[in-house]
Amino acid sequence: MNLLVLSLWRTLANLRDGKIWLYVLTPALCSLALSLGLAVWLLGWLVERLMEYPPMTLLVGWGLIWLANFLAYLGGWMAIFALAYLAASLVAAIAIMPLMLNRLAATEYRDVAAMGRDSFVAATVNSLLAAFLFAQAWLLTIPLWLIPGMSLLLPLLLMAWLNRRTFAYDALSMHASDGEWRAFRQSQGTPLFMLGLCMALLAHLPFIGLLVPALAALSFVHYGLESLRRSRGGAIVSIEGEHV
């Protein structure tokens, strides 16, 4: 079975496990609380600021005040959604993913030897850097959102990149050696981005979107460990001269 499809299928199958639901719901509740808080305290301010810039000012000048307000509120909600998703992704990557990884490594991937360096600091730095770059890219591409269709395409692409950058490394940092990680990144770049894109699409569905950061973490663990299992051909020893 195709690795991407297999990873999504195993992610869905894991939802029969009550412990996995605990992991999935934790970032979702954080995202929901943050979304509601930002909507109450920040949405009005965002709309006012957006109304001061084109194309809203142009639309107001043309008498299309209703359209300007609609676009300003849409932009405000998209900004809130991006911030909430970013925060949930950080919670999933830093706090939840290690728990998922340990659980799956002890059950479904017992034959995949841990030959990497389990560094919480490195994983945290990777997640924070990804979040910073995502925020910068989001802000820099705002002018492009005025191009028809870009307001739909750009958030998907940025979230797909965020998912790949955040979760791909964390999924393999404990199990893959440096050489295996480099080979994985080079050979699986496009499939990993497509997996991130699948999760980004789900993120835009009502209610389901709240669960996506943790589901993305889970799917990347499945993809990474299964890919590593296949690359080793079932071997659990003699990885770059090391033994378990």
- Give the 3-state DSSP-derived string for the chain, with helices as H, strands as E and coil as C: CCHHHHHHHHHHHHCCCHHHHHHHHHHHHHHHHHHHHHHHHCHHHHHHHHCCCCCHHHHHHCCCHHHHHHHHHHHHHHHHHHHHHHHHHHHHHHHHHHHHHHHHHHHCCCCCCCCCCCCHHHHHHHHHHHHHHHHHHHHHCHHHHHCCCHHHHHHHHHHHHHHHHHHHHHHHCCCCCHHHHHHHHHHCHHHHHHHHHHHHHHHCCCCHHHHHHHHHHHHHHHHHHHHHHHHHCCCCCCECCECC
34 Cβ contact list (under 8 Å, min separation 6): 83, 84, 87, 88
Q: What is the pLDDT of residue 7?
A: 94
Q: Please give the Cα distance from 36 to 80 (Å, whole number).
A: 9
pLDDT in tens, 3-41: 999 999 999 999 998 889 999 999 888 888 888 888 888
Tell me, yes or no, whether 88 lies in a domain. yes
pLDDT in the model for residue 240: 43
Look at residue 45 and tell me if it is in a domain.
yes
**Domain residues for 173?**
3-232
Residue 243 counted as domain residue: no
237 domain-assigned: no
238 lies in a domain?
Answer: no
Give domain status of residue 16, yes or no: yes
Q: Is residue 120 part of a domain?
A: yes
- How many structural domains does the chain have? 1
Cβ partners under 8 Å of residue 187, min gap 6: none
Cβ partners under 8 Å of residue 138, min gap 6: 82, 158
- CA 71, CA 73: separation in Å to the nearest integer? 5
**Separation in Å, CA 186 to CA 12, 63, 167, 181, 192:** 27, 53, 16, 9, 10
Reading the chain (244 residues) residue by residue, the pLDDT tens digits are: 589 999 999 999 999 988 899 999 998 888 888 888 888 888 888 788 778 777 778 778 888 888 888 878 887 887 888 888 888 888 998 889 989 999 999 999 999 988 877 667 888 888 899 989 998 898 888 777 767 778 778 889 999 999 999 999 888 888 888 889 889 988 998 999 999 999 999 988 877 888 999 999 999 999 999 999 999 885 544 434 444 4
Give a yes or no: residue 175 inside a domain: yes
